[in-house]
Amino acid sequence: MRIYSLFVYVFLYTPIAIIALFSFSAGRSASQFEGFSLKWYGRALDNPFVMDALANSLFVAFVSATLASILGTLAAVGLQGMRGPARAFFDAIIYIAVMIPGIVIGIATLIALVTVFDVVNPWLANIWPEGREPPALTMGRPSLIAAHTMFTLALVVLIVRARLQGLESALSEASADLYAPPMRTFRLITLPLIAPAILAGFLLSFTFSFDDFIIAFFVAGSETTLPIYIFSSIRRGVTPEINAIGTMVMLASLVLLVIAQLILRRSNKR
Amino acid sequence: MTERERNWLMVAPAGVWLLVMLVLPLSVVLIFSFGERAPAGGWVPAFTFEQYANLPARLTAFQNTLTLAPLGTLAALIIAYPLAYQLAVRTDPRWKTILLVLVIVPFWTSILIRSYAWIYILGGQGLPALLEIFGIEGVRLIYTPFAVTVGIVYGYLPLMVFPIYVALDRLDKRLLEASSDLGAWPLTTFLRVTLPMSISGIATGCMLVFILLMGEFLIPALLGGGKVFFVGNALVDLFLQSRNWAFGSAVAVMLILVMLVTVTIYMRLIARLSATREDVSIM
């Protein structure tokens, strides 16, 4: 049994180790190791396409994770006090958001937005003052942020709600009994108690958005995110440079997740 | 402001966001699936079932998905169960957490990067080259159903281990001792005690993996090389290459229907299975 488990760990980590190993190869070939070198890391960091894609990914991940944390937390807290069909409807939508495959979310967002833009753009051109270039809505960063926020917002609602359900209502009831206005109770009692869940939700949302390929593939328009760059490069053949990028991305996700775990664990112990 | 109004005000932004970015797009897909393809690509309004009648044209994609998704789920279960058992029942509590975290860590790194690593391992310079040293020649692994299955198992194994581990960890270990004290063979103990008690974890793990696999695109795209494709690959082709939105929408609607039906059947089965288990335990 022990040996079996060891095999499974080898299975889990060999591919990751191979990518990391080949990223240090000095040679041009991606399949033969020709001496240790860090040059592909330098090459990747000097590549303007990579840096552009990275900047896009970071920006989109940061904005959508922030929006999702705020909207998701508000919704989770508001839902606590709601009953009846409205609540059931909202729960159903959250459930759908998590269950529907990413690829269907991607195509649905693509055709819905393109159709809406086709209607709105001529109308915008019509009402725009003469002589000035009318704005044209296209797929790009904003549409990608909107799509990622939708999905990650559902995740934040689930995480924060789990935390809220574990809280003792006695605390906020005591606060209300002592005549604290509701906003004050929320700010001084509820918010500090759910803060770890919000932060964990933010970090998970950030990681999801940063790693997402399939939704971005449809919704990003002419923009390139890092996963899209990696995917299209692999299509042309694996290079040591891609391995270097992959290793850096894996390390970054890892650090974020360790932080999220530490925060959640510490708050659960309290 | 009443408490009721305040609650509504807090839920409203998220609600509107979900309506505009989820409910509206999904409705558009449903509406588009009854339309027709514009000559230049795109969509024109119509009310026809033609797209649904055309679905057999993509039958292979559905067949592949409905064969390899359950197969991959089963393979992941078979590989994951002994590990989850070892971790939950046989491991020193001091090491449990760290060993479990080590299983889950890969899942939280980009599946794109982890999948393409298999291009190395299964490609001509990888395992086949190794096999040639032992005199086994002409083995082709990459771009086969086998490669896709390996990718699937690799990608989703952590998601299978975790719920089974949780179920087995909750199991009262004294039950296992009691069973062996009463003279049951280890295999009998496993089949009559351990396995039935972990059925909820197995059910959760299989469902999570199966649902994610139904919409899979990346693994077949990278390791199937255009020969082994899922419904997800057909969707990418229909929306981004041939720009046939009406037919693509019908394929997407069908995918969700197939998912709903299989998951419902599956849940019924699990419910029946746990019902019979309770009968047994009463006896």
Q: What is the pLDDT of residues B247-271, one digit of tens each?
A: 999 999 999 999 999 988 988 888 8
Residue B153 reports pLDDT greater than 90? yes
The average confidence (pLDDT) of chain B is 89
Q: Check which CATH number belongs to the domain holding A80 and give it.
A: 1.10.3720.10
CB atoms within 10 A of CB B156: 25
Which residues does chain A have within 8 Å of residue B15's beta carbon, measured at their own beta carbons? 75, 90, 93
Domain of residue A193, residue span: 48-269
Of all residues in chain B, the one with the smallest CA distance to A213 is B112
Task: Note whether residue A170 is domain-resident.
Answer: yes
For chain A, the domain total comes to 1
More confident residue, A128 or B160: B160
Would A193 be classed as within a structural domain?
yes
Q: Give the pLDDT band of residue B176 (cuts 50, 70, 90).
A: confident
Asked whether the predicted pLDDT for residue A223 surpasses 60, the reply is yes
Nearest to A246 among B10, B87, B113 (CB): B113
* Cα–Cα distance list, A256 to A195, A200, A203, B115, B175 (Å): 17, 10, 7, 21, 40
Out of A75, A99, A230, the one facing B14 most closely (by C-beta) is: A75
Tokens of B139: 């083995």
Look-up: residue for tokens 């958001």?
A97
Test mutation, A2, A99, A100, chain B, max B CBs within 10 A: A100
pLDDT band at A268 (very low <50, low <70, confident <90, very high): low
| Secondary structure class of B143 (helix, strand, coil) | coil
pLDDT reported for residue B281: 45
The yes-or-no verdict on residue B140 having pLDDT over 50 is: yes
Helix (H), strand (E) at residue A218:
helix A214-219
Residues of chain A with Cβ-Cβ distance to B17 below 8 Å are 71, 146, 149-150, 153
A12·B106 Cβ contact <8 A: yes
Of B11, B112, B259, the CB nearest to A75: B11
Asked, for residue A35, whether it belongs to a domain, the answer is no
What's the mean pLDDT in B179-201? 86
Contact check, Cβ <8 Å, B214/A101 = yes
| Banded model confidence at residue B273, pLDDT cuts 50, 70, 90 | confident
Sign of dihedral through CA atoms B103, B109, B110, B113? negative
Which residues, in sequence order, are CB contacts of A156 under 8 Å at separation 6+? A68, A69, A71, A72, A73, A76, A198, A201, A202, A205
Q: CA A243, CA A238: separation in Å to the nearest integer?
A: 8
Cβ–Cβ of B108/A217 closer than 8 Å? no
Q: What ipTM score was computed for the predicted complex, to two decimals?
A: 0.89
The alpha carbon of residue B40 is apart from the nearest alpha carbon of chain A, in Å, by 15
The per-residue pLDDT for B136 is: 80
Residue of chain A with shortest Cα separation from B212 = A101
Query: What's chain B's length in residues?
Result: 283
A33 pLDDT exceeds 90? no
Residue A97 placed within a domain: yes
DSSP, res B25: H
Provide the total of helices (H) and of strands (E) in chain A, helices listed first: 12, 0
φ and ψ of B35, to 5 deg? -95, -165
| Distance to chain B for A53, nearest Cα, Å | 16
The answer as to whether A38 is a domain residue is no
Task: Say yes or no to pLDDT of A39 above 70.
Answer: yes
Reported confidence tier of residue A269, pLDDT bands at 50, 70, 90 = low
User: pLDDT confidence of B12, banded at 50, 70, 90?
Assistant: very high
Give the CA dihedral B14, B16, B22, B26, nearest 10 degrees: 160
* CATH T-level assignment (fold) for domain B58-282: MetI-like fold (1.10.3720)
Is the predicted pLDDT of residue A205 greater than 90, yes or no? yes
Q: At B54, list the tokens.
A: 């055309």
Instruction: Select the more confidently predicted residue: B255 or A168.
Output: B255
DSSP count for chain B of H helices, then E strands? 15, 0
Q: What is the pLDDT of residue B283?
A: 35
User: What is the model's pLDDT at position B276?
Assistant: 66
